[in-house]
C-alpha cells in the first residue's frame, strides 16, 4: 500500500484579479501558507503557465518547477479541462463554448476543435518536460443532449457518438502515450463520459487504449445518486487522479436530480466545501489506500455557500487529517507462530 500524497489544490477556482490570486508567485505563497504541498495548474491561464512554451522548452519547464519549488510546493498535474471540452461539442452548445477558446476561432467549430486538439498535444509534452506522468481533462460531449431518451433516441446515435469521440481523441491519446503520460478523464455531467458505463463505452471505442484513465471526483456521483464507493472497487486500476470535493443531494417534493433550472444554491444537488456535504471521505481514503492509489489528493473548491478562502483554509487541514499513513506491518505480527512449510503440511495432515 502507498500513502496518498497531499494536500494539494487545484488553482482554477482561486485565480482572480486581486492579490494574492493574480500571479503564480503570490498564489503559491498563499497556498503554501495554508499547508498545501502541491498545486494542480489550469493550463488555459497564462498567469500560471505558457503551455506551448512548456511543451517546446525543457528549460522553461525546469524554471517553472523551480519557481513553484521555491515555495515548498510541487506541480502535481496540469489540467486541460476547458480545452478538452472543446474536442467534441454538440451544435446545441456551440455558441456557449466559444468562450473557452481564443477569439480568432470563435464561430468556426472546426478551427476551434483543431485548436483544442493542439492544446492537448502541447499538454502531453509539457507534462513530460515537467516530469509528470498524469494529466487531467474533460472528454467533451457529442450526445449529452440526448442523455434522457425523449424523444426516443434514433437507433445507432449513441454508437456513432462514441465512435466519433474516440476518433477525435485517439491522436491525442497516442501523443500522450509517446510522452509516457496517462490521460485522466474527469467523469462529469455534461460530458459523454459521465459515469462508469459511459467510461467503459469510451474505453472500448478507443480499443482499450492504455492511456485512457480516470480522475475520481465523488461529488459528481453524489449528484447522480451513483454508488461512489463501489465505483472505486470497479475502477481502482484506472483511477490515477483524485479531486477531493464535497457535495450534497437533498431532494424534495418539488425537485430532484435535474434541479428545476435553479441556481446552485437552490438546487437539490449542490457542491459544498469539504466537510459540509455528504461524501464519506473516511471510506474513500481507506479504499484508495487499500487499492494502492499512488497519486495526490487535490482539493477542488466549488461551494455555493462558503467563501473560497475559508474553504481552502479548512480544506488543507481536512485533507491532511484524512490521509492515511499506511502501515508497514500487520497488526497481528506479534502473534506470529513462526511455523514453516513442513509444519504447515503436518498441521494439515498432508
Q: What are the pLDDT digits (tens) for 246-297?
A: 999 999 999 999 999 999 999 999 999 999 999 999 999 999 999 999 999 9
- CATH number of the domain that residue 131 is part of: 3.20.20.150
Question: In which band, very low, low, confident or very high, does the pLDDT at 215 lie, cut at 50, 70 and 90?
Answer: very high
Domain count for the chain: 1
Per the structure, the complete domain to which residue 75 belongs is given by 5-348
| pLDDT over 90 (residue 199) | yes
Q: What is the mean pLDDT of residues 223-228?
A: 98
Q: 216 forms bridges with which residues in the sheet?
A: 242
Q: What is the mean pLDDT of residues 184-197?
A: 98
Whole-Å CA distances, 248 to 155, 222, 223, 259, 349: 36, 6, 7, 13, 56
Q: What are the pLDDT digits (tens) for 49-63?
A: 999 999 999 999 999
Question: In which band, very low, low, confident or very high, does the pLDDT at 113 lie, cut at 50, 70 and 90?
Answer: very high
What contacts 22, CB < 8 A, 6 or more positions away? 15, 16, 47
Question: In which band, very low, low, confident or very high, does the pLDDT at 73 lie, cut at 50, 70 and 90?
Answer: very high
CB 247 within 8 A of CB 271: yes
The residue that leads in pLDDT, 226 or 333, is: 226
- Predicted TM-score (pTM) of the model is 0.95
| pLDDT over 80 (residue 338) | no
| pLDDT over 80 (residue 331) | no
- Output the pLDDT for position 240: 98
Amino acid at each position: 500500500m502507498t500513502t496518498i500524497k497531499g494536500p494539494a489544490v487545484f488553482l482554477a477556482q482561486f485565480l482572480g484579479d486581486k492579490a494574492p490570486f493574480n500571479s503564480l508567485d503570490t498564489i503559491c505563497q498563499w497556498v503554501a501558507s495554508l499547508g498545501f504541498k502541491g498545486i494542480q495548474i489550469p493550463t488555459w491561464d497564462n498567469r500560471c503557465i505558457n503551455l506551448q512554451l512548456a511543451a517546446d522548452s525543457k528549460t522553461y519547464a525546469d524554471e517553472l518547477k523551480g519557481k513553484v519549488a521555491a515555495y515548498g510546493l510541487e506541480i502535481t498535474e496540469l489540467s486541460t479541462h476547458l480545452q478538452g471540452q472543446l474536442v467534441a461539442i454538440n451544435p446545441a452548445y456551440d455558441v456557449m463554448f466559444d468562450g473557452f477558446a481564443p477569439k480568432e476561432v470563435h464561430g468556426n467549430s472546426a478551427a476551434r476543435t483543431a485548436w483544442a486538439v493542439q492544446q492537448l498535444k502541447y499538454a502531453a509534452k509539457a507534462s513530460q518536460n515537467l516530469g509528470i506522468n498524469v494529466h487531467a481533462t474533460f472528454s467533451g460531449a457529442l450526445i449529452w443532449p440526448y442523455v434522457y431518451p425523449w424523444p426516443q433516441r434514433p437507433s445507432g446515435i449513441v454508437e456513432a457518438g462514441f465512435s466519433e469521440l474516440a476518433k477525435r481523441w485517439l491522436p491525442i491519446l497516442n501523443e500522450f502515450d509517446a510522452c509516457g503520460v496517462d490521460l485522466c478523464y474527469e467523469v462529469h455531467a455534461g460530458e459523454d463520459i459521465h459515469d462508469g458505463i459511459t467510461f467503459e463505452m469510451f474505453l472500448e471505442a478507443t480499443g482499450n487504449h492504455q492511456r485512457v484513465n480516470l480522475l475520481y471526483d465523488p461529488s459528481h456521483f453524489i449528484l447522480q445518486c451513483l454508488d461512489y464507493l463501489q465505483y472505486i472497487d470497479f475502477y481502482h486500476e484506472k483511477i490515477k487522479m483524485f479531486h477531493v470535493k464535497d457535495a450534497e443531494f437533498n431532494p424534495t417534493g418539488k425537485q430532484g436530480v435535474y434541479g428545476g433550472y435553479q441556481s446552485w444554491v437552490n438546487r437539490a444537488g449542490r457542491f459544498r466545501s469539504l466537510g459540509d456535504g455528504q461524501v464519506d471521505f473516511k471510506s474513500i481514503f481507506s479504499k484508495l489506500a487499500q487499492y494502492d492509489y499512488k497519486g495526490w489528493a487535490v482539493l477542488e473548491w466549488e461551494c455555493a455557500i462558503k467563501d473560497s478562502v475559508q474553504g481552502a483554509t479548512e480544506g488543507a487541514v481536512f485533507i491532511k487529517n484524512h490521509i492515511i499513513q499506511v502501515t508497514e506491518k500487520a497488526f497481528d505480527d506479534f502473534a506470529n507462530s513462526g511455523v514453516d512449510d513442513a509444519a504447515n503440511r503436518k498441521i494439515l495432515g498432508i
